Amino acid sequence: MSGGRSESVMFERIALIGIGLIGSSISHACRRASLAGSIVGSARTPATVETAMRLGLIDEGFVTAAEAAVDADLIILCTPVGLCGPIAKEISRSLKPGAILTDVGSVKAAIVRDVAPHVPKDVHFVAGHPIAGTEQSGPESGFAELFDGRWCILTPEPDADGRAVEKLRAFWEALGSKVEIMAPEHHDLVLAITSHVPHLIAYNIVNTAAHLERVTDSEVIKFSAGGFRDFTRIAASDPTMWRDVFLNNKEAVLDMLGRFTEDLTELQRAIRFGDGDTLFRLFSDARSIRRGVVQAGQDTAAPDFGRASGRVPVAPQAASKKV
């Protein structure tokens, strides 16, 4: 549905600040579950706002975040992490009393630190992070199923309004997610090892391969199925987004990188000294983690990392455009 009301409308007006992969997927999933009376949005460039209108992702588009936030009951910051603080400052005076302000940023402590000071007392700020994504960017990359069965972590401040937290939990559940609540610092530690360091390794190994002198570029691409290909997929992720993640989760990433380096040294020693038992033990341990991921429903056991089953873009529904 779009632009109208229904029994299940959870928020009369939702404002998406930033309409890329995550913003557009939220819109698709909102439409699917008829959660919003209307969805409005803003982006950095007019071209993105126009595309979002054309795709029916938003009912009204605005040039500035401050205009988009006016009269919204739920405002979701869907921009790169480093912009959340400045945008919170910009929209501060547009936020209506009782509104819920949240975000989807991949780092939480820095966002809470940067956003909270700009939130008026009568507005409820509850930071969040859907643990779901792809290497694609932009308004055309979103799809309604992105959050299905995936976790969304909320990191409310200890004095956050309980009803606002529960409403946001219900919203993410209606988008298809499972919701967990934790402290922002703990989120950052967990995500450093499950997401941030793996992306860093992918960026690094792809660049290492690109700079090899004894292997040609065409050989790297031709024989990429031997494991390298999956790193190239991760390393195709948006550079702005990932620059901001590492600038804003420095401590936890450096902590996890230190541990990673120690473990890598152990593997290096085992290879150097022909210690097959150690290699076998470490590889067996790692393999059992993969089984756990599949058993927890966070991936399928299908070859190719189950990607074919999880990436089905949904045709956008038509929206009644007001602008």
Give the binding site for ligand NAP (CB under 6 A): 17-23, 42-45, 48, 65, 78-81, 83, 87, 104-106, 129-130, 133-134, 137-138, 238, 241
- Cβ 270 to ligand NAP shortest distance, Å: 34
Please identify, using beta-carbon distances, which residue of 54 and 279 lies nearer to ligand NAP. Answer: 54
Tell me which residue of 65, 59, 133 sits closest to 320, measured CA to CA. Answer: 59
Please identify, using beta-carbon distances, which residue of 181 and 220 lies nearer to ligand NAP. Answer: 181
- Six-digit token string for 225: 């199925």
Cβ 187 vs Cβ 104: under 8 Å: no
Tell me which residue of 79, 97, 103, 72 sits closest to 10, measured CA to CA. Answer: 72
User: How far is it between the farthest Cα atoms of the chain?
Assistant: 70
- Cβ 297 to ligand NAP shortest distance, Å: 18
- Cβ 273 to ligand NAP shortest distance, Å: 40
Give the position of tokens 């993410």. 172
Please identify, using beta-carbon distances, which residue of 102 and 106 lies nearer to ligand NAP. Answer: 106
Cβ 231 vs Cβ 205: under 8 Å: yes
- Cβ 87 to ligand NAP shortest distance, Å: 6
- Six-digit token string for 114: 């940067």
- Cβ 137 to ligand NAP shortest distance, Å: 4
Segment (H or E) for 168: helix 162-174
Please identify, using beta-carbon distances, which residue of 9 and 154 lies nearer to ligand NAP. Answer: 154
Task: For the beta carbon of residue 229, count every other beta carbon within 10 angstroms.
Answer: 12
- Cβ 79 to ligand NAP shortest distance, Å: 4
Give the three-class secondary structure for 112: helix
- Six-digit token string for 153: 């972590």
- For 297, left (φ over 0), alpha (ψ -120 to 50), or beta? left
